């Protein structure tokens, strides 16, 4: 993973924008009118924190289609399209979820699944993946994406992101209040000053990136689980191992940022990487019972 997924960036942007709007509307003045109202601040932080995460989740499928140029297919086109749709349907039935939309997008080897609800998600594969892998390997990749949906990974990521956002908003405003109180000691005024506004905006961004590291760690764990999910849907772990090994020898296509958290990558497991290194994923499957 070369950059933070847009899912994380969108949350950060929403939190910052909501914070600025709240300041303009006088919410910060209300929170600090008679000293910092921690109870009101916690409620405010919760609404803002989960607001950004939920907005990102609800828009995820629409953004995915737009940003990657997904062509939704229904299986009535070519024989390959019919096979892809049928494969997704079989896995969805086996996983006990509603039939996702199925799409193809132009690009190097990659795939993703996204959507706010298990029964109305989207699974998309790239032309490079279809051309560079055997059918069994493509099936394993599709099984991995269906497992993401069945596991509720997008919702789980949203909840984790919401908790992190809440912490970001709460902590930045508490520290902002303390900084502003220090800078304005002895000065009489009815609301927060410039120190509060500057500090909260800066810390929203700084803490937002720290929160992204934690969210990325959780994301890497769910990749291992989706790999195992694919082996369960396939009834055999070798196709997923072979697919990962082939990906390790390819240059995975760079997805639009909005999809990176749900796609395939051969990243090196850096702090902001949402996917573990390919070799670790293969080792985990090989060591699985």
Residue 267 token pair: 């990243």
Convert the pLDDT of each residue in 215-249 to its tens digit: 888 888 999 999 999 999 999 999 999 999 888 77
* Mean of pLDDT values over 170-192: 78
User: Which of the residue ranges 12-26, 113-127, 132-146 would you say has the lowest mean pLDDT?
Assistant: 12-26
Establish whether 144 is an annotated binding residue. yes
HEC profile of 228-283: HHHHHHHCCCHHHHHHHHHHHCCCCCCCCHHHHHHCCCCCCCCCCCCCCCHHHHHH
Establish whether 242 is an annotated binding residue. no
Edge-to-edge strands, sheet with 122-126: 71-73, 101-105, 122-126, 111-114
Q: Report the share of the chain in percent with pLDDT over 70.
A: 77
Catalytic residue flag (residue 279):
no
Establish whether 148 is an annotated binding residue. yes
User: Which of the residue ranges 7-16, 75-84, 91-100, 112-121 would you say has the lowest mean pLDDT?
Assistant: 7-16
Range of 146-160, 163-177, 275-289 with top mean pLDDT: 146-160
Q: What is the predicted pLDDT for the residue at 159?
A: 85
Which residue among the candidates 145, 254, 279, 280 is catalytic per the annotation? 145
pLDDT exceeds 90 at position 92: yes
Q: What is the predicted pLDDT for the residue at 213?
A: 86
Q: What phi and psi, each to the nearest 5 degrees, are found at residue 125?
A: -125, 155
pLDDT band for position 269 (50/70/90)? very low
Convert the pLDDT of each residue in 20-54 to its tens digit: 666 665 555 656 555 677 777 778 888 878 887 88
Range of 85-94, 180-189, 244-253 with top mean pLDDT: 85-94
């Amino acid at each position: 993973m070369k950059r933070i997924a847009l899912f994380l960036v969108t949350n950060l942007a929403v939190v910052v924008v909501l914070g600025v709007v709240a300041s303009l509307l006088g919410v910060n003045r209300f929170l600090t009118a008679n000293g910092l109202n921690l109870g009101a601040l916690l409620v405010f932080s919760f609404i803002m924190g989960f607001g950004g995460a939920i907005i990102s989740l609800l828009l995820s499928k629409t953004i995915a289609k737009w940003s990657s140029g997904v062509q939704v297919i229904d299986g009535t086109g070519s024989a390959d399209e019919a096979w892809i749709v049928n494969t997704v349907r079989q896995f969805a039935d086996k996983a006990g979820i509603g039939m996702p939309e199925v799409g193809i997008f132009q690009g190097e080897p990659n795939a993703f699944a996204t959507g706010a609800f298990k029964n109305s998600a989207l699974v998309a594969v790239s032309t490079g993946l279809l051309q560079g892998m055997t059918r069994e390997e493509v099936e394993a990749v599709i099984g991995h994406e269906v497992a993401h949906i069945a596991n509720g990974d997008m919702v789980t990521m949203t909840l984790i992101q919401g908790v992190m956002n809440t912490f970001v908003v709460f902590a930045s405003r508490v520290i902002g209040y303390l900084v502003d109180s220090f800078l304005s000691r002895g000065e009489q005024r009815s609301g927060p000053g410039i120190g509060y506004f500057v500090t909260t905006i800066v810390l929203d961004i700084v803490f937002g990136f720290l929160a992204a590291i934690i969210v990325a760690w959780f994301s890497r764990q769910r990749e291992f689980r989706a790999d195992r999910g694919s082996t369960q849907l396939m009834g055999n772990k070798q196709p997923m191992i072979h697919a990962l090994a082939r990906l390790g020898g390819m240059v995975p296509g760079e997805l639009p940022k909005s999809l990176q958290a749900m796609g395939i990558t051969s990243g090196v497991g850096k702090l902001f990487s949402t996917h573990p290194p390919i070799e670790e994923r293969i080792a985990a499957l090989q060591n699985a019972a």
